[in-house]
A and B are shown apart, each in its own frame.
Chain A
Amino acid sequence: MAAKTESFQQQRRISSLLINLTLTIICIIWLIPVIGLLITSFRSSQEIFSTGWWTVFPHPEYVDTRQITVDPSVNLDGNFQVEGITTNFTDLRNGVTLPNGEKLTWYGNKRTRTIDVAELKWVGFSTNMTLKNYSAVLGGKTVTFKDATGRDIETRGPNLGGAFLNSLAVTIPATIIPILIAAFAAYGFAWLNFPGRKLFFIGVVAMLVVPLQIALVPILQDYTRLQLNGTYLAIWLAHTGFGLPLAIYLLFNYISTLPREMLESAFIDGASNFTIFTRLILPLSVPALAAFAILQFLWVWNDYLVALIFLNPQTQVVTMALASLVGERGQDWHLLTAGAFASMIMPLTVFFLLQRYYVRGLMAGSVKG
């Protein structure tokens, strides 16, 4: 019996180890892309273009130790002797490894007659970090940076800081307005009597299936006619319209389950519908409101399509600024990585602070495509 328990425990320990190992591997795979981005965003542009971001970790690397000058009498067109081995120019250009582990590389063109000798050494953590990429990408001023060969390049920096402000101006109202409208509507559908109540509610729920692509073309026509294009109001209303079906549906499910007696006693005390709604329903619905708020906040902050269509370059949000950066400066990794990480700080903060509500919102909101 004792032996059996022991083997059982051992088996358990092994399976627990296996489980943790598997999960750790998956998590590392999940994190590598983000870690690469984060590290790169703090490296200087010259380093980014010349070595991979993983070289900031300790690793063996060939470090130049000395130089050999090849005697002018040596004919470089054929094979010749250097450091005790026979080799030729082409091989040296690509690097030749000596038996003792040293590596010979020809420096420059034939006329230099110089060979770099490098030794394999361990290089420790790189501490060469900078915030320059962030100031370049957020500031919108002229920036200079060095490319792989150390040449100075001067360009106008993208103004991600301004886009960040625009994102706030778009996201905060585009989160609060639909919640307010949806809460009023949910209360109306749940507790007020009016002709066509059921029909309207079914209509609202039916709107859940409409992909927003359908609305883009007609709404754009309306906006052009009303001269609303590029204004904050235009995009608030658009996000409100696209978010409302889910918001009403979720809030209705919550508000309609509040105890009837409580509302009735408030009504008997002479409270009007408006008072009941603002003083009783809203405070009681905070969990549902918060869940939807986070869902909508992240949705709007991370949205690209709606912003791309209804906003203009003056009012562009972070995702638009970042996407145009990808298009115009596809290889400028120092700007792209810093910009991408800056754009993530806000949603990541909200996400980690309010994760519990977010998960609840997601579970309830999974009906929406």
Chain B
Amino acid sequence: METQKMIVPKTGGGVVGWFTTNLGRLIVSIFVPIVTFIVLWQGFLFLRNSKAPQVVLVFVAIFWGVGGVAVLYAISNWVVEQFPKEWTRRLQPFIFVGPAIAILAWYLFIPVVRSLILSFQNDISTQWVGFANYIYAFTDRVMLEAFRNNLLWMIFGTFFSVAIGLLVAVLADRSRFENIYKAIIFLPMAISFVGAGVIWKFVYAYAGTGVGIQEVGVLNAIVIALGGKAQPWLTLSPWNNFLLIIIMVWLQTGFAMVIISSAIKGIPAELLEAARVDGANEFHVFFSITIPSIAGTLITVTTTIIIFSLKLFDVVRVMTGGNFGTNVIANEFYLERFTYGQAGRASAIAIVLLILTIPVMIYNLRQFQERRAF
């Protein structure tokens, strides 16, 4: 008790008084962060340059990364708590929100501004070119094809994902094996697009023609069994787009199903019962009660999948690389920037993507506020 009293500074002693009583603290609170920083920096250098076995590096990296962030918070908070009470109260909120704001500024806010600037400059960002990149983005043959394909993705991909998701959600609701069905439809959500790409590449596999060659792809095997001829499916424009869209439907239906399913469970049972007692048949109940009750959810799911298909990249990249008439906007962005080195055009395409997604996102956010998901 007695010792504590000695450390606590007397209030009203003036700035000089505070400094003399707290000199030790001040030195420590400068010294500790510097040591922490040096230790973390050494860790970074070790990870970047070391030739240690990979397993060791991985463990050190995980420990360093997670521990480092926790330590930085603890230390900076500790430093702030060494200050006079009033200062602590003022500064502490920024210890809490500061890192998040800084990272968001660096990774999202400033890049939007920079991309906007880059989009008005030439391929290596040395000259202003006005709207040339945007004119390219909206008129070039390659871009028009990408827009057309994205439109196909948005219409057919979204429609079938939501429709099948709705069908499964409604039917599974009346089955004893609901959870099994739902888990199976949901399963692809856990798989990466690259993994899904391999799965479906194998489904669409084409072995070529020749004596004794057997098709190993399921689709060609089915076609042959039905009396048709094996086809190199992924190179058949424009049908290959639909074959790629099937992959997205396979991946996204689970998402639609889960969200629609929980909305259906939220419909009051009395409402459905009352309609049935009144003699409405199941189709009538579905269209006049179920659908209107979950309309909000249906729209949210639809808009979410529309945004998703707008930004779609991995499936096309892995399956065809955008060749054979399957290019999409996000893949064209990647090609422009990383294959052709056209920073200006790539930035313009990214800005177009942003502008296209904004209205849908705003709508979704509004919906979310009403729903209170947690």
Q: Which of A180, A250, A291 contacts B73 (CB 8 A)?
A: A180
Within 8 A of B (CB), among A157-202: 162, 165-166, 168-169, 172-173, 176-177, 180-182, 184-185, 187-189, 192-194, 197, 200
Tell me, in angstroms, the Cα distance from A309 to B354 when the chains sit together.
Answer: 20
B190's contact among A49, A189, A192, A348, by CB below 8 Å, is which?
A348
Q: For residue B190, which residues in chain A have a CB less than 8 angstroms away from its CB?
A: 298, 344, 347-348, 350-351
Residue of B100, B215, B358 touching A184 (CB-CB under 8 A): B100
> Which of A176, A245, A340 is in CB contact (< 8 Å) with B66?
A176
Chain B contacts of A304 at CB under 8 A? 192-194, 313-314, 317-318
Q: Are B108 and A337 in contact (CB under 8 A)?
A: no
Contact between B66 and A192, CB atoms less than 8 A apart: no
With beta carbons under 8 angstroms apart, the residue of B73, B192, B259 that contacts A302 is B192
A317-369 residues at the B interface, CB under 8 angstroms: 318-319, 322-323, 326, 330, 333, 336-337, 339-340, 343-344, 347-348, 350-352, 355, 359-360, 362-364, 366-367, 369
Residues of chain B lying within 8 A (CB to CB) of residue A216? 337, 350
- Indicate if B87 sits at the interface (CB-CB under 8 A): no
Contact B111 A219 (CB under 8 A): yes
Contacts of B360 in A (CB 8 A): 369
Beta-carbon contact of A288 and B374 below 8 Å: yes
- Chain A residues lying within 8 Å of B285, measured Cβ to Cβ, are none
Could you tell me the distance between the alpha carbons of A50 and B108 in the complex, rounded to whole angstroms?
51
**Of listed A48, A176, A213, A319, residue having the most chain B CB within 10 A:** A213
Nearest A-chain residue to B343, judged by Cβ: A217
**Which residue of chain B is the closest to A18 with respect to CB atoms?**
B171
Which of A245, A288, A337, A359 lies at the interface centre, i.e. has the most chain B CB atoms within 10 A of its CB?
A359
Q: How far is the CA of A257 from the CA of B374 in the complex (A)?
A: 10
Partner of A185 from the list B99, B177, B192 (CB cut-off 8 Å) is: B99
* Min CB gap B152→A, angstroms: 18
Chain B, 85-119, CB within 8 A of any chain A CB: 90, 92-97, 99-101, 103-104, 106-112, 114-115, 118
Contact of B96 with A51 in the complex, beta carbons under 8 Å: no
Consensus secondary structure, chain B interface: helix
Query: Is there a chain B Cβ closer than 8 Å to A145's Cβ?
Result: no
B200 is an interface residue with CB less than 8 A from chain A: yes
B250 cross-chain contacts in A, Cβ below 8 A: 30, 33
Residues of chain B at the chain A interface (Cβ within 8 Å)? 44, 47-48, 54-55, 57-58, 61-62, 65-66, 69-70, 73-74, 77, 81, 90, 92-97, 99-101, 103-104, 106-112, 114-115, 118, 164, 167-168, 171-172, 174-175, 177, 180-181, 183-195, 197-203, 205, 211, 214-218, 221, 250, 255, 258-259, 262, 282, 300-301, 304, 307-308, 310-311, 313-314, 317-318, 330, 333-334, 337-338, 343, 346-347, 349-351, 353-354, 357-358, 360-362, 364-365, 367-368, 372-374
- 23 CB contacts below 8 A, A to B, read A23-B171, A23-B172, A26-B167, A30-B187, A36-B203, A189-B97, A192-B92, A204-B100, A207-B109, A208-B361, A214-B347, A217-B115, A222-B106, A242-B108, A248-B100, A303-B192, A326-B197, A333-B216, A340-B195, A360-B373, A362-B259, A363-B259, A366-B300
